[in-house]
Chains A and B, each alone.
Chain A
Amino acid sequence: MKTIEELMAIRESAKKKMTVREDTGDDNIRVVVGMATCGIAAGARPVLNAFVDEIEKRGIKGVTVSQTGCIGMCQYEPIVEVLEPGKEKVTYVKMTPEKAVRVVNDHIVNGNPIVDYTVGVATK
């Protein structure tokens, strides 16, 4: 069972790490998941969780996962945008947890966007 004592221990270990990490702010990669009614209904919650889990499992630093509202392409939800500083935004559509894991590995870790999952291919 998880206990409050454990949370206190996490606090102590996290405090030490935080001082090291603070200066990585600006070159963060941002993963933004659409979480409006359309996104949620299409399965955005497991997609968001898959990103968070995979990033944590691999111990990847400098990536933040956040949520946004509807961007007006409800039929392509779940939609995920990957924003890398100095690069063009990549918009992935009809995402699944399995695709999310691939995006983390191929795009975020290795720097190769998966063209097949992007909005450009889907709307052709």
Chain B
Amino acid sequence: MRELSLNVLDIAQNSIAAAASCIRIEVLENSAAHTLTIGIHDDGKGMTEEQVQKVLDPFYTTRTTRKVGMGVPLFKMAAEQTGGSFTISSKVGVGTHVEAVFKTDSVDFTPLGDMPSTVVTLISMNTDRDFLYRHQVDDKEFTLSTGELRSILGDVPLSEPEVVQWIREYVKENTELLYGGVQV
């Protein structure tokens, strides 16, 4: 993957496939410690201990259209190649937690990339799910909850083009503020 935000988009698809109703995505950047932590947490159907071990194997997949499942292994590799760490835990009927820690000062660190694009794609393509997004850069933080947006919008769906456009601008502007107004 060219940027980590694409890994996030990919991993979140697993949550959607696991019938999660709420998906929490956290991006925490700590410039003093040179770390970036990405967490994807869902309340989907979860996995057994055995399945958790298997998803780390690229030759395991639940799909039938092809024989490989690269999503989780690619994300794990992206974290571990920086000297960071990767954990996945899951419980049947409860949900799955994926967390990757990246060392941002490593030469093998893949840039985070366009997180707003990932967030907007997820929200607008899965309006039947709820997303909680938190992006923290040192002492600055931006949070977005589709539950809150829904309560403001009432009967108007999140898929409404003007709403999607608003979310896109809103996330983009607030993400830029996290970096002190620099374009992302």
B13 at the interface (CB under 8 A from A): yes
Q: Looking at the complex, which one of B69, B125, B166 makes contact with A66 (CB distance below 8 Å)?
A: B125
Minimum CB–CB distance from B6 to chain A (whole Å) comes to 5
The reply to whether B166 and A6 contact each other, CB–CB distance below 8 Å, is: yes
Interface residues of A in 17-52 (CB under 8 A from B): 18, 35-38, 40-41, 45-46, 48-49, 52
Q: Looking at the complex, which one of B9, B66, B162, B164 makes contact with A45 (CB distance below 8 Å)?
A: B9
The reply to whether A37 and B121 contact each other, CB–CB distance below 8 Å, is: no
The reply to whether B121 and A69 contact each other, CB–CB distance below 8 Å, is: no
The reply to whether A18 and B164 contact each other, CB–CB distance below 8 Å, is: no
Residues of B at the A interface (CB closer than 8 Å) are: 1, 6, 9-10, 13, 17, 63, 65-66, 69-71, 74, 117-118, 121, 124-125, 149, 152-156, 160-166, 169-170, 173
Residues from chain A with Cβ under 8 Å of B164 in the complex: 52
Q: Looking at the complex, which one of A2, A11, A40 makes contact with B154 (CB distance below 8 Å)?
A: A11
Q: Looking at the complex, which one of A8, A13, A67, A70 makes contact with B125 (CB distance below 8 Å)?
A: A67
Q: Is the interface of B mostly helix, strand, loop or mixed?
A: helix
The reply to whether A7 and B124 contact each other, CB–CB distance below 8 Å, is: no
Q: Looking at the complex, which one of B1, B17, B74, B160 makes contact with A69 (CB distance below 8 Å)?
A: B17
The reply to whether A2 and B170 contact each other, CB–CB distance below 8 Å, is: yes
Residues from chain B with Cβ under 8 Å of A52 in the complex: 124, 161, 164
- Since A36-B63, A41-B1 are in contact, a sample of 19 more A-B pairs with Cβ atoms closer than 8 Å, ordered by chain A residue number, is A2-B166, A2-B170, A4-B152, A6-B166, A7-B149, A10-B156, A10-B162, A11-B153, A14-B160, A18-B156, A35-B9, A36-B10, A36-B71, A38-B70, A49-B117, A69-B13, A70-B65, A72-B66, A74-B66
Task: Provide the bound-state CA to CA distance between A40 and B63, in Å.
Answer: 16
Task: Provide the bound-state CA to CA distance between A46 and B121, in Å.
Answer: 10
The reply to whether A45 and B6 contact each other, CB–CB distance below 8 Å, is: yes
Minimum CB–CB distance from B56 to chain A (whole Å) comes to 14
Residues from chain A with Cβ under 8 Å of B173 in the complex: 1-2
Residues from chain A with Cβ under 8 Å of B13 in the complex: 35-36, 40, 69
The reply to whether A40 and B162 contact each other, CB–CB distance below 8 Å, is: no
Task: Provide the bound-state CA to CA distance between A48 and B149, in Å.
Answer: 23
Q: Looking at the complex, which one of A18, A40, A72 makes contact with B10 (CB distance below 8 Å)?
A: A40
Task: Provide the bound-state CA to CA distance between A109 and B73, in Å.
Answer: 41
Residues from chain A with Cβ under 8 Å of B74 in the complex: 37, 41
The reply to whether B149 and A40 contact each other, CB–CB distance below 8 Å, is: no
Task: Provide the bound-state CA to CA distance between A71 and B64, in Å.
Answer: 9
Residues from chain A with Cβ under 8 Å of B166 in the complex: 2, 6-7, 10
The reply to whether A14 and B65 contact each other, CB–CB distance below 8 Å, is: no
The reply to whether A10 and B163 contact each other, CB–CB distance below 8 Å, is: yes
